[in-house]
Amino acid sequence: MIQNVPLKPTLFTKRLLAQKHRQGRTKRVIVAGLMLTSMVDMFSLLVIFLLQSFSNSPEVMALSNGIVLPAAVSASAPIDAPLLTITEKEILVDHQAVGEIQAVLEKPESLVKKLVDMKTTWETTHKDQTFKGDVHLQADQKLSSSLVSQVIGILNSQGYGTVHLAVVNGAR
């Protein structure tokens, strides 16, 4: 009896009890079953939750075709910011082509217009916050540092003062 409720032994339980009595032991034997269904359900929900939360995190940044990022030993986690990509041929802002590199560097009006549009959009959607000027920069490792510096100069002139360089984890 458990809490004044009589237990009805199953055939398996009767067999175990009979075996214990034959061995001459006088200890009380309790056979309990474990219900795994609820535990499996709980772990399934936990796995689904973890997959959902990791798939929505901004840590995974899509690379444009043909971009090989430079390697770095340590890096910080990416934040939510616009993406500026410099390939060997063109400059892209959020995966939309702005123009060829030399044309944009000679006449940066198209890039400046795109940056100003993104800044005004951010300011209208975040009225209670000040503009921080964050931007992610993906630049192919074959590009010269002077070319990347010129693009960073254009970014700084438009209020994008915090440039996060996208790199690959580890040395090559």
Find the CATH number of the domain harbouring 158. Answer: 3.30.420
Share of the chain above pLDDT 90, in %: 2
Q: In this model, does residue 135 exceed pLDDT 70?
A: yes
Confidence of residue 137 (pLDDT cuts 50, 70, 90): confident
Q: Is the predicted pLDDT of residue 101 greater than 70, yes or no?
A: yes
From first CA to last CA, the distance across the chain in angstroms is 69
* Averaged pLDDT, 148-156: 88
Same domain, 39 and 113: no
* Helices and strands per DSSP (H, E), number in the chain: 5, 7
pLDDT tens digits along 10-39: 777 777 777 777 766 555 656 666 677 888
Claim to verify: residue 50 and residue 75 sit in the same structural domain: no
* β-pairing verdict for 134-139 and 90-93: unpaired
pLDDT above 70 (res 146): yes
**Residue 66 domain-assigned (yes or no):** no
